[in-house]
């Protein structure tokens, strides 16, 4: 079986895996991560989102071979308890999570979106987050948290 080598949350990893194995399975089953989550398996809900070289990627449909030599960041690598990413901090301050299943997708997608568009308008935020699902219906809290993170990133300046 071929070996796939990549950076995971800043550390080098190598796994022996069939090249077409979904990255999500490698992360959860072979590397023991609890995030990202399996949601739909069709790249439609976002629960499996990771960053590949800083860009959001739905890990449920990405073949393991596609990350060879690249940097994969999971929710665990986005920030730490001591130094959370602004979207993680805002999530806590807004008390967003209910069941928490979708949090991975929203946080990873929002972090990448705000990196590229720190002053995104409400319409741009909605467009950039389109397709993500929350079964608990906390969409308004999620948007409040993302707007709060946006303020943190922009030094308190309004968008």
List per-residue pLDDT tens for the chain, 159 residues long: 899 999 999 999 999 999 999 999 999 999 999 999 999 999 999 999 999 999 999 999 999 999 999 999 999 999 999 999 999 999 999 999 888 889 999 999 999 999 999 999 999 999 999 999 888 888 899 999 999 999 999 997 544
Token readout for 31 is 């590397």
User: What tokens were used for 138?
Assistant: 């906390």
Two structure tokens written together for 157? 């300046």
- Rounded Cα distance, 63 and 115, in Å: 25
Closest CA to 70 of 88, 94, 51: 51
Do the domains at 3-78 and 86-153 have one common CATH topology? Answer: no
Q: Give pLDDT, residue 157.
A: 59
Classify 55 as helix, strand or coil: strand
**Rounded distance, CA 76 to CA 79, Å?**
7
Residue extents of the structural domains in the chain? 3-78, 86-153
Q: Are 12 and 76 in contact (CB under 8 A)?
A: no
Domain 86-153's class? mainly alpha
Cβ proximity of 22 and 69 under 8 Å: no
Alpha-carbon distance 159 to 70, whole Å? 33
Q: Quick one: pLDDT at residue 137?
A: 86
What pLDDT score was predicted for residue 159? 47
Asked whether 123 and 159 are in contact (CB, 8 A), the reply is no
Q: pTM of the entire structure? A: 0.93
- Is domain 3-78 in CATH 3.10.20.30, yes or no? yes
What is the structure's pLDDT at 136? Answer: 87
């Amino acid at each position: 079986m071929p070996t796939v080598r990549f950076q995971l949350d800043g550390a080098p990893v190598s796994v022996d895996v069939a090249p077409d194995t979904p990255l999500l399975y490698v992360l959860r089953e072979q590397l023991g991560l609890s995030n990202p989550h399996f949601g739909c398996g069709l790249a439609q809900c976002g629960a499996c989102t990771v960053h590949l070289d800083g860009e959001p990627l739905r890990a449920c449909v990405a073949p393991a071979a596609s990350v060879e030599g690249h940097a994969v960041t999971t929710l665990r690598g986005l920030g730490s308890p001591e130094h959370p990413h602004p979207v993680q901090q805002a999530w806590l301050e807004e008390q967003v999570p209910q069941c928490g299943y979708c949090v991975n997708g929203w946080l990873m997608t929002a972090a990448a979106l705000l990196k590229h568009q720190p002053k995104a308008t409400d319409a741009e935020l909605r467009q950039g987050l389109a397709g993500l699902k929350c079964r608990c219906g906390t969409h308004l809290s999620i948007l409040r948290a993302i707007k709060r993170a946006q303020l943190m990133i922009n030094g308190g300046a309004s968008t």
